[in-house]
Amino acid sequence: MKNNTPTPHIGAKMGEIAETILLPGDPLRAKFIAENYLEDVKQFNSTRNMFGYTGKYGGKTLSVMGTGMGCPSMGIYSHELINFYGCKTLIRIGTAGSMNKDVKIKDLVIAMGACTTSNYVRLFGLPGDFSCICSYKLLKKAVKAAEETGANYHVGNILSSDMFYTPKTAANGVSWSDMGVLAVEMETAALYSNAAIGGADAISIFTISDSTITGEATSAEERETSFTNMIETALKMI
């Protein structure tokens, strides 16, 4: 453990990361949250430009850090945060694409469970398929917080996909949307499985940034700075 820094991916020393952490995929969203919502902020990570900060919100210590894209990236950061830095509550706040006609642009989706096309969960070597589900304790808090913010929200199953650009192949068999899946993103299955084996609580809350149904999409700047309902919902859970 060189200089009290236990991993090569996070530059924080022990004690610099709070037990509760918000995890946007985009490190610039982590910077935006730190600058606009936290007090007494200290940056604890810039390794690989995956910015991380610790500060105060409502008098409570809170951290926020980017995780990058995909289950492997989330898998590294969430594993290290849980097992090396003692994080107990991990709240992913990210963007997702709607897979349901009733889930509109800028709606919130709270991920009760995560299906996946990734091989990440299978690499645990379980004798079957693990169901990646959120913490019920956090789910109750997230629903209450979403109602308090007045956001239009949905609770249900999402898909963690390894592919952002899905090939245009002919439909064959049952689709994810046929199974009631609300939205697609790329990280939650890894977060939920790492939380399960590490004894931590985790949940993902998304803003719908685009729709596979209508083809609508938001800009990169909107995704970075304007999805405040999602941020404020997460902060009400602290």
Residues labelled catalytic: 210
Q: Are 23 and 10 in contact (CB under 8 A)?
A: no
* Inter-axis angle of helices 188-198 and 71-83, nearest 10: 20
C-alpha–C-alpha distance, residues 23 and 169, integer Å: 33
The amino acid at residue 139 is L
Q: Which pair of structure tokens corresponds to residue 142?
A: 């997230």
Task: Give the span between the Cα atoms of 87 and 101, in whole angstroms.
Answer: 36
DSSP readout, 121-140? GGGG--SS---EE--HHHHH
Q: Which residues pair with 99 in a beta bridge?
A: none
